[in-house]
Chain A
Amino acid sequence: GEDVEQSLFLSVREGDSSVINCTYTDSSSTYLYWYKQEPGAGLQLLTYIFSNMDMKQDQRLTVLLNKKDKHLSLRIADTQTGDSAIYFCAEKKSSNTGKLIFGQGTTLQVKP
């Protein structure tokens, strides 16, 4: 199957860490991406990870990949109100089409 699944909603307090989870079904995926969408805007690429990596850190963002369980997570440290948005994970398969399969998106609400 081609499903990418995410929980729909996460609420955290400002300054806490946020963890957004994603599961995918295709073990042939080559790259996995995290995108951020603010209200009324397009998707902004946040970070990505190769399927042969376990972890990637980029400033406040940490991506963890458990390839055996097909589980991807995005941790945002010291979450700020400006981090409130919808976060999408996406997988790129090994086929040569360039297509990405997106999850439904997780709405992150950051309370002051």
Chain B
Amino acid sequence: DGGITQSPKYLFRKEGQNVTLSCEQNLNHDAMYWYRQDPGQGLRLIYYSQIVNDFQKGDIAEGYSVSREKKESFPLTVTSAQKNPTAFYLCASSNRKTPGAAQEAQHFGDGTRLSIL
């Protein structure tokens, strides 16, 4: 079945460490997104990519980095510069070629919960 796979489901970070969250999709979507969700809050956009080898900062990019070397993959690195990384991280993808509400809807993975050791 087509979908978005995030791994790991739970991740722990030590002080001063960089950690990388994986996001893979087999939906043949051009666009991919990373969101951060804190308890009782909505989704905040970290980075997004509309095409391979290109990405843009979202609203809260500081302390994070991404790459988009393959269409299927959009890994997120939480760097040591991110002082409050504890959150639920969600990856999404969408079709950018076919217009329409259903076609352009974002599809989400099951998330990665990151905590500090």
A residues within 8 Å of B by Cβ? 4, 8, 30-31, 33, 35, 40-45, 48-50, 88, 90, 92, 97-100, 102-105
Contact = CB atoms under 8 A, between A and B. Distances in A.
Contacts of A49: 101
Nearest to B95: A98
B96 A41 contact: no
Contacts of A99: 33, 45, 48, 58
A41 B9 CA distance: 10
A44 B48 CA distance: 19
B106 A100 contact: yes
B41 A98 contact: no
A43 B90 contact: yes
Nearest to A97: B50
Given A88-B42, A98-B50, A99-B48, A42 B105 contact: no
B31 interface: yes
Instruction: Specify the main secondary structure of chain A where it touches its partner.
Output: strand
Contacts, number: 62
14 contacts: A8-B40, A31-B101, A33-B105, A42-B90, A42-B110, A42-B111, A43-B106, A45-B107, A50-B101, A90-B106, A98-B50, A98-B96, A103-B42, A104-B40
B109 A42 contact: yes
A43 B108 contact: yes
B94 A98 contact: yes
A90 B94 CA distance: 14
Nearest to B32: A98
Interface in B78-100: 90, 92, 94, 96
